[in-house]
Chains A and B, each alone.
Chain A
Amino acid sequence: EPEVTQTPSHQVTQMGQEVILRCVPISNHLYFYWYRQILGQKVEFLVSFYNNEISEKSEIFDDQFSVERPDGSNFTLKIRSTKLEDSAMYFCASSRTGGLFNEQFFGPGTRLTVL
């Protein structure tokens, strides 16, 4: 069964460093998302991406964040200068359609630890 994959599973970085989290969505999906979950808190939406552009972003997704689909398979989240509060589990998700049939499938997550 097709699934969303993410690498790395765990990333440790120093405050102020840049990190890139990678995702391979399900191959025939057209909508891509990043969410994050700080330990013990709700899963929060960061950004959605469709047709090679951002369709929506949350207040969390400030200028330090960017997303890219560099080729036909990968979807990346970049954090330019990490802060301690960026420590969280980051989930990539994809869906085949939007609107009424928007069932989102999630990857296993990347645990980001900022020291």
Chain B
Amino acid sequence: KQEVTQIPAALSVPEGENLVLNCSFTDSAIYNLQWFRQDPGKGLTSLLLIQSSQREQTSGRLNASLDKSSGRSTLYIAASQPGDSATYLCAVDGGATNKLIFGTGTLLAVQP
């Protein structure tokens, strides 16, 4: 059964700092890994999708990497801003199915 873990559970950094969020999963038979952002009481905003054949994806200040064989992904945020404060979730699909299996998230606070 696929399990997704995110470390750390919470992170507080000063504005301008570069940071890394970690995601690990137990079953490497995935098609995709998706990173989301969730603001308090709100929906999930898709940030990046990495397909299993890719090693990384970039969008603006965000860079996500995937090491499928070791079951790990990282989300790198460059030059963090207070507006980046949110919970970041990673999710993997079920391989043979399309359902997403989510981690517990990392709550990020960027201090001005």
Residues of A within 8 A of B (CB): 31, 33, 35, 42-45, 48, 55-56, 58, 91, 93, 95, 98-109, 111
Contacts and interface: CB of A to CB of B under 8 A. Distances in A.
B89 A43 contact: yes
Contacts of A103: 32, 34, 46, 49
Nearest to B48: A103
The A interface, classified by DSSP as helix, strand, loop or mixed, is: strand
Given A103-B34, A106-B36, A106-B46, A95 B98 contact: yes
B99 A33 contact: yes
11 contacts: A31-B98, A33-B100, A42-B104, A55-B97, A56-B98, A56-B99, A99-B31, A102-B32, A103-B32, A107-B43, A111-B41
B43 A104 contact: no
Nearest to A35: B100
A102 B98 contact: yes
Nearest to B6: A42
A36 to B, nearest CB: 11
Interface size class of B (residues with CB under 8 A): 20 to 34
Contacts of B32: 100-103
B93 to A, nearest CB: 6
Contact of B44 (A31, A99, A106): A106
A106 B43 contact: yes
B52 A100 contact: yes
Given A43-B89, A43-B91, A104 B42 contact: no
A109 B105 CA distance: 18
Contacts of B51: 100-101
Contacts of A93: 44, 100
Contact of B42 (A35, A43, A109): A109
A100 B31 contact: yes
Interface in B47-61: 49, 51-53
Contacts of A98: 98
Nearest to A6: B43
